Structure 1
Amino acid sequence: MSITLADARIVTTDGVHEGWLTIEDGRITHIGHGTAPGNGYRLAGRHIVPGFVDIHNHGGAGGSFPTGDLEQARKAVGYHTAHGTTTLVASLVTGPARELTSAASALAELCEEGLLAGIHYEGPYISAARCGAHDPAQLRSPDPAELGDLVKAGRGHVRMLTIAPELPGALNAIAFLTGEGVIAALGHTDATLEQTLAGVDAGARVATHLYNAMAPLHHRDPGPIAALLQDERVTVELINDGVHVHPAMMRLAITAAGTSRTALITDAIAAAGMGDGRYVLGDMGVDVKNGVARLTEGGSIAGSTLTMDVAFRRTVQEVGLSISEAAVVASLTPARVLGQDGRIGSIAVGKDADLVVLNEDLTVAGVMKQGTWVKEPIA
């Protein structure tokens, strides 16, 4: 079956083009300028951007990935998909090994279904000084046997693990992960610049939510932020909800790393889409007030209630990127992190028809995944 989306502003890596595209068997087959041949699905000049790719997400709509509950996980995926995230990695949080392996084993089933793009362990090998919303009682240095079990539990679907490079055994763990095809991400760290660079040299390639839960920039002690921004091998995650990172610091990071090394993430928790109230992240109580999630005890920021469409919109309206640039940091760069940029992440002939239709104000009008409407735009 062939579908034509016509009368659209198509956002590609080389700009915005007024025209049309056709889809067959879930893939983009033609991209044209001007008026579409024949009768197309007319979008009244709306933008079409590539489906968003979220590589760091703990849940939404009341569902939490760390529980390993498949019903909750499906609910969370459905919620974020409706907000334009067509590729999503489920993130776990620090906990006992048995809980982590159980959750990963369960979520691997959804990876095998194609509902999830992988599993991310955020911890448990992170710094007590920068643990944020992770249970400090469960933090530990990498253990080779346990690390092997964590990777094995995901049945080939573990995509990333966040680790603090200054911990004993961390560099060997990073090298092991790299050899297993798992992305080592540096985060929740109090490392020096030199320790951070040693982690990158060992194979780490992502900065987990840059700025947050890491030693701050200082002109005499640059720490991990300077190292991660300057190293061309590293992609930096950024949470653009207006709470985690000031727009000026967003601009600083994107100027330093470029769009090709910047990936927007949500770090969303179960509270996303649910309103204010009391929630749980792993074993930690979380209170959400005015949309901001903080630990009940201590008040640390505990993930977000963000969706990728809001992050995209803020990146254009508050940070000042063009729509094409925002599409890179919301879709193409994170797709590249996952090694899937040949299939998703941008609008191009031959790629999956994972698409988001945006209204003039950049709110979501429609979402398509592999050529099927998840949310059909109203004409």
Structure 2
Amino acid sequence: MTILFHDAHKVDADGEVDGFWMLVDGDRIVSVGSSPRRRGAAADATGATGATGAASASHGGSGALDGSDGRGGAGLPPADRTVDLGGAHLTPGLVDLHTHGGGGHSFDHDAASIEAGLALHRSHGTTRSIVSLVAAPIAELRGSLQRVAELQQRDQLVLGAHLEGPFLAPDRRGAHHRHYLADPDPVLIDELVDAGWGTLRQVTLAPELPGGLAAVDRFVAAGVAVAVGHTEAGFDLTRQAFDRGATLVTHAFNAMNGIHHRDPGPIIAAVGDERVTIELVLDGVHVHPEVATLVLRSAPGRVALVTDAMAAAGSPDGAYRLGDLDVTVSDGVATLTGSDTIAGSTSTQDHALRVALSRTGLTPTEAVAASTIVPARALGLDDRLGRLAPGYVADAVAWDTTWSVERVWAAGVEVPAAR
């Protein structure tokens, strides 16, 4: 079935286009353009190469841009169904590299809990997610990795797993259980990689641990993206980790050394390295928006907004669990019970996007890119995720003028949206 989305204001990493339309066939975008029907501008149908007119047809569109069959309307190709967006903002589906749960459900439990938590995030516009796991007994981590692998086989919107533990510095463990931390020895690394059946996408690692830099080599060789995080590493050691193949920083500023004028630390190492993507939890709690703005401006196009959400995302204040630890949520802020240690966020990606637009000065194009193409690129998936362009997956979010989610499509299928 083909679906024509039309009369949208497109916003993605390539910029903004008014009067935007796109033709979807199954789970892929096959052609895009801008229609003169309501805007009074010349029609422009764009294919993957950036050519116009005929190039669009070569990517699966009909080429009949004049709507001569009576279904498309002037300047629009025909389709089996049409979706009139009435001028709403239209962006690619959001991508989250780092989330632990939502809707009252933790990803450290069974597959049903993972699915329920992901449904909450999808309703807020996150169409593709990494399932993040906190430190746990190794046998439990193996089981969790297998569950994620099984889930990915039946749900293409799951991008794989992220091991945030167990390879963390004890004094920078945050909301991870100290007893479940471990040094990254080769046998354990191979055991966890094998348990994921090729779906382990990302691991957070403190490179100062015994065998830490060798572990970077081993994970990279296995096709796993390595993120420096929960670490005591300074500037020089962090740069060594990047030179060995680490390409991410886990939730910048949190659970690591900050910026000092004589000891610049891991964040400055990441800002200065074009190979590195920097995760940023932009919920107004984890990082002050002025500090977030500094990083966003210092590393343009390399900061990925993430939620680091735990089970309380989209749920009321109260008592929750993160792994084996008790968490109290008050006024939307999650902390380990009886302490002031932040235990993930209660945010969703649409909230992070609104904070980026309202409190950092990012343009819509920049903010949307940080929520879509930048995290996709960190996983090597930017050839199919993160743009509204021919050949890309048909993930899209329609927003109202306040940047609240109105409708969500994932792989060409509409999913329930939060209201």
Normalising by structure 1, what TM-score?
A: 0.96
Question: Does the CA-based 8 Å contact 2:252-2:279 persist in structure 1?
Answer: yes
> Equivalent residue of 1:66, what SS?
coil
Query: What is the CA–CA distance in structure 1 between the aligned matches of 2:183 and 2:83, rounded to whole Å?
Result: 55
Correspondence for 2:334: 293
Question: Does the CA-based 8 Å contact 1:357-1:377 persist in structure 2?
Answer: no
Q: Deviations over 1:236-261 (max 9, x none)?
A: 000000000111111111111112x1
Task: Check if 1:119 corresponds to 2:161.
Answer: yes
Correspondence for 1:88: 129
Q: Give the AA of the match of 2:347.
A: L
Question: Does the CA-based 8 Å contact 1:65-1:91 persist in structure 2?
Answer: yes
Question: What is the aligned length?
Answer: 376
* 1:6-17 matches, cutoff 5 A: 6-17=6-17
> Equivalent residue of 1:353, what SS?
coil
Q: Deviations over 1:292-329 (max 9, x none)?
A: 00001432000001100111111111111111111110
Task: Check if 1:266 corresponds to 2:267.
Answer: no
Task: Check if 1:31 corresponds to 2:35.
Answer: no
* 1:1-379 matches, cutoff 5 A: 1-19=1-19, 20-35=21-36, 37=67, 38=72, 40-67=82-109, 69-113=110-154, 114-259=156-301, 261-375=302-416
Q: Deviations over 1:93-147 (max 9, x none)?
A: 1111111111111111111112411000002111112111111222222121111
CA spacing shift, 1:65–1:377, aligned 2, 3 Å: closer
Query: What is the CA–CA distance in structure 1 between the aligned matches of 2:118 and 2:167, rounded to whole Å?
Result: 26
Query: What is the CA–CA distance in structure 1 between the aligned matches of 2:147 and 2:97, rounded to whole Å?
Result: 18
Q: Give the AA of the match of 1:50.
A: P
Query: What is the CA–CA distance in structure 2 between the aligned matches of 1:143 and 1:13, rounded to whole Å?
Result: 40
> Equivalent residue of 1:172, what SS?
helix
Per-residue deviation at 1:12? 3.2
Greater Cα shift, 319-328 or 262-271: 319-328
Question: Does the CA-based 8 Å contact 2:122-2:417 persist in structure 1?
Answer: no
Higher-Rg member (1/2): 2
Query: What is the CA–CA distance in structure 2 between the aligned matches of 1:365 and 1:8, rounded to whole Å?
Result: 13
Question: Does the CA-based 8 Å contact 1:84-1:367 persist in structure 2?
Answer: yes
Q: Give the AA of the match of 1:79.
A: L
Question: Does the CA-based 8 Å contact 1:10-1:47 persist in structure 2?
Answer: yes
Q: Deviations over 1:131-170 (max 9, x none)?
A: 1111122222212111111111110000001000111100
Greater Cα shift, 5-14 or 71-80: 5-14
Greater Cα shift, 81-90 or 290-299: 290-299
> Equivalent residue of 1:145, what SS?
helix
Moved over 6 A (4+): none
What are structure 2's unaligned runs of at least 5 residues? 38-66, 74-81
Query: What is the CA–CA distance in structure 1 between the aligned matches of 2:235 and 2:136, rounded to whole Å?
Result: 28
Question: Does the CA-based 8 Å contact 2:317-2:330 persist in structure 1?
Answer: yes
Query: What is the CA–CA distance in structure 1 between the aligned matches of 2:418 and 2:245, rounded to whole Å?
Result: 43
Q: Give the AA of the match of 1:258.
A: P
Per-residue deviation at 1:14? 2.8
> Equivalent residue of 1:350, what SS?
coil
Question: Does the CA-based 8 Å contact 2:96-2:305 persist in structure 1?
Answer: yes
CA spacing shift, 1:371–1:226, aligned 2, 3 Å: same
Q: Give the AA of the match of 1:311.
A: A
Query: What is the CA–CA distance in structure 2 between the aligned matches of 1:107 and 1:15, rounded to whole Å?
Result: 34
Question: Does the CA-based 8 Å contact 1:193-1:223 persist in structure 2?
Answer: yes
Q: Give the AA of the match of 2:4.
A: T
Aligned identity (percent) is 44
Per-residue deviation at 1:377? 10
Query: What is the CA–CA distance in structure 1 between the aligned matches of 2:6 and 2:274, rounded to whole Å?
Result: 39
Query: What is the CA–CA distance in structure 1 between the aligned matches of 2:94 and 2:339, rounded to whole Å?
Result: 33
> Equivalent residue of 2:372, what SS?
helix
Correspondence for 2:50: none
Q: Give the AA of the match of 1:13.
A: A
Per-residue deviation at 1:375? 3.1
> Equivalent residue of 2:397, what SS?
strand
Normalising by structure 2, what TM-score?
A: 0.87
CA spacing shift, 1:43–1:377, aligned 2, 3 Å: farther
> Equivalent residue of 1:117, what SS?
strand
Question: Does the CA-based 8 Å contact 1:6-1:35 persist in structure 2?
Answer: no
Query: What is the CA–CA distance in structure 2 between the aligned matches of 1:201 and 1:252, rounded to whole Å?
Result: 24
Question: Does the CA-based 8 Å contact 1:7-1:35 persist in structure 2?
Answer: no
Q: Deviations over 1:44-93 (max 9, x none)?
A: 211000100001010101111122x0110110111111110010000001
Query: What is the CA–CA distance in structure 2 between the aligned matches of 1:375 and 1:323, rounded to whole Å?
Result: 24
Query: What is the CA–CA distance in structure 2 between the aligned matches of 1:132 and 1:178, rounded to whole Å?
Result: 25
Query: What is the CA–CA distance in structure 2 between the aligned matches of 1:376 and 1:10, rounded to whole Å?
Result: 19
CA spacing shift, 1:272–1:12, aligned 2, 3 Å: closer
Greater Cα shift, 6-15 or 344-353: 6-15
